[in-house]
Chains A and B, each alone.
Chain A
Amino acid sequence: MMLEAGLILFRFLHYASTTFLFGATLYPLYGFGMEIPRVFADKVWRWLLPASLLALISLIGWFEFSAANMAGNASAMFDMPVLLIIIKTMSFGKLWLGRLAVSVLLVVLSLRRPNEVLFRWQSVLSGLLMVSLVGTGHAQEPAQPYMAVHYVADGAHLLAAGAWLGALWPLAMALRAAPPLTSKLLVRFSWMGQIAVGVLLISGLVNSWFLVGSFGSLFGTFYGRLLCLKILLFGAMLGLAAMNRFWITPQYAATTQDYTLLDNRLRRHILAEQLFGLLVLGVVSWLGTLQPPIAGLSI
């Protein structure tokens, strides 16, 4: 039980840190439509070192707790022959070595002074870190001929989630740093947001079909019910995002009065969106350790 809890915790920390790294480094590249303002670049960059260190530590923790869960005892975490079996004979071990190298590179890059090229590199490498999580979810279960569709859907799902959720924090910083641009910043963000939501909906449906298989399984199994909770939380995020886009953004463009009220409301919405997003990641971290209904045992 403790071993499972440890694995879920490190999965969550890794999802949260890589999501942030990807979304936060991608946002400055499309959020302004011009050169990234120096003050803003410095503010975002300051968060990249702790986030990339967390990604590195949680990647190691995920590996260690996976070893313990597979072997069925905690001592496997420090058992070199066991760890070598994972690295040498399992796809997971080889994938983790590659992901470890990318994580170290992210830490090293975040130690340098920010510029636009480095932002591009950070977003590419953290995107790679995100998309390579495809191999560790359930994008593999049955239906061999459609495996590629499932892989692509899972990869797109991860990237879209990162682009949306990870960008919320720098968006809040940008709004604070440049109040006269609020309306423009929101419109630019919402373009990406709408694309991300579209991708999340389609890829989420594809993945659910592969893993759950039927509406009966959706409500009749623990996995299915947890997936329902994830969809509810996603719905709450979507509701807040729609309010920001279709209710608050037009008011910024139309109003010439004091923006304080709107600013406060927007900030609360973005904060709530992030909290719901973190809860979604928590549910996802748990889901990944459970047996999906489609993989039901036949004897």
Chain B
Amino acid sequence: MMRPRLTFVALLALLAPTTTFAHPVPKTATPKPNAVLSASPTEIRIGFSEGFVPAFSGMEVDDASGKAVVTATASADPSDDKVMILPVTAKLAAGAYTVKWHAVGDDTHHVSGHYSFQVK
């Protein structure tokens, strides 16, 4: 008969998380929050504290009236899975814009937020 306590330790080692679970918290953003740009950006980049699950994460850019103006799909940077990129294919006209982002980390928790920038 196997010994329960030894089995406990062995199974615990198997079940122990091999990666750290954490909420992805945004640390950097390009364009920066409240930035005033002289030209339309070609992409939006947000760097998170942790990797995120691309299937459950994304962002969009809304104009001042709240209408989404960028329709591309956000994805993870192939060289850094902590960075979310949204290509801006259309030229943004002068005005105020809001970046709305949402991300799910390895811990399953959903986090979201938004910030603004302007194009002159």
Interface residues of chain A, those whose CB is within 8 Å of chain B, are: 66, 69-72, 82, 85, 89-92, 95, 98-99, 102, 117, 120-121, 123-125, 127-128, 131-132, 134-136, 138-142, 144, 147, 289, 291, 295-299
Contact = CB atoms under 8 A, between A and B. Distances in A.
B120 interface: no
A128 B15 contact: yes
Which of B25, B29, B111 has the largest count of A CB atoms less than 10 A from its CB? B25
A102 B53 CA distance: 27
Interface residues of B, number: 38
A29 to B, nearest CB: 10
Contacts of B106: 90-92
B53 A70 contact: yes
B65 interface: no
Contacts, number: 101
Contact of A69 (B27, B33, B108): B108
Given A89-B53, A92-B106, A132-B12, 14 more contacts: A66-B108, A91-B17, A91-B21, A92-B21, A95-B15, A95-B17, A102-B11, A124-B4, A131-B12, A132-B15, A141-B22, A295-B111, A297-B111, A299-B46
Which of B7, B20, B113 has the largest count of A CB atoms less than 10 A from its CB? B20
9 contacts: A91-B106, A125-B11, A131-B12, A132-B12, A132-B16, A135-B107, A136-B107, A139-B21, A298-B25
Nearest to B8: A124
Contact of A121 (B4, B20, B104, B108): B4
Interface string B1-32: 10011011001101111111111011111000
B53 A124 contact: no
Which of B28, B102, B107, B113 has the largest count of A CB atoms less than 10 A from its CB? B107
A41 to B, nearest CB: 17
Nearest to A140: B21
B9 to A, nearest CB: 10
B25 A128 contact: no
Given A99-B15, A299-B113, A128 B20 contact: no
B91 interface: no
Contact of B110 (A70, A102, A125, A295): A70
B93 to A, nearest CB: 24
Contact of A291 (B14, B23, B56): B23
A98 B25 CA distance: 28
Nearest to A299: B26
Contacts of B67: none
B48 to A, nearest CB: 10
A71 B25 contact: no
Contacts of A66: 108
Which of A99, A124, A125 has the largest count of B CB atoms less than 10 A from its CB? A124
